[in-house]
């Protein structure tokens, strides 16, 4: 019985850990998207200031060029994180299934113990009635 309780606690811990990982990845994706949006605004502002929107032009703003590179890196990283997020969600589902299995085994074990106790109690009552 104690080993079953330990197993369930372990499975709950694993589910919680996977859930935290999913939340962490989602937060990182959101932060990268926000940062990329901010960089888009800064790039547009810099292009408007310099009156040059062609990145291949020799007089294009160095700051805008660097911001474009940073934005592109953030978008690429967010894309890679989306792949990790799908994998983390799959691992979370698997951990949830394992927890549910362990809990159902515990439930079955407890119900069979209760049934055995009920049968034993009934047998004890029958012996008592027969002795009176």
CB atoms within 10 A of CB 116: 10
Calculate what percentage of the chain has a pLDDT beyond 90: 71
Q: Is 2-105 assigned to CATH 1.10.287?
A: yes
Report the half-sphere exposure of 17 (CA within 13 A, side-chain side).
Answer: 10
pLDDT at 115: 60
pLDDT higher at 85 or 4: 85
Residue 121 has pLDDT above 80, yes or no: no
Q: Helices then strands (H, E): number in the chain?
A: 2, 0
The band of 18, judged by pLDDT with boundaries at 50, 70 and 90, is very high
Torsion, Cα 26 29 30 36, to 10 degrees, reads: 180
pLDDT higher at 25 or 106: 25
pLDDT at 4: 80
Q: 12 with 99: CB under 8 angstroms?
A: yes
Q: Which of 7-21, 60-74, 96-110 has the lowest mean pLDDT?
A: 96-110
The string of pLDDT tens digits covering residues 37-89 is: 999 999 999 999 999 999 999 999 999 999 999 999 999 999 999 999 999 99
pLDDT at 5: 85
Sketch the domain layout of the chain as residue ranges.
2-105
Q: Which of 10-19, 45-54, 117-126 has the lowest mean pLDDT?
A: 117-126
Euclidean distance between CA atoms 107 and 112, whole angstroms: 9
């Amino acid at each position: 019985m104690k080993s079953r309780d330990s197993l369930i606690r372990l499975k709950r811990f694993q589910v919680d850990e996977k859930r935290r990982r999913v939340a962490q990845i989602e937060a990182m994706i959101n932060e990268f998207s926000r940062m990329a949006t901010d960089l888009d605004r800064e790039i547009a502002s810099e292009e408007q200031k310099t009156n040059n929107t062609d990145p291949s032009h020799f007089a294009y703003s160095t700051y805008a060029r660097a911001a474009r590179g940073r934005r592109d890196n953030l978008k690429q990283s967010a894309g890679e994180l989306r792949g990790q997020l799908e994998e983390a969600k799959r691992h979370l589902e698997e951990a949830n299934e394992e927890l549910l299995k362990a809990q159902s085994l515990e439930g079955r074990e407890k119900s069979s113990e209760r049934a055995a106790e009920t049968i034993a109690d009934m047998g004890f009552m029958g012996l008592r009635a027969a002795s009176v």
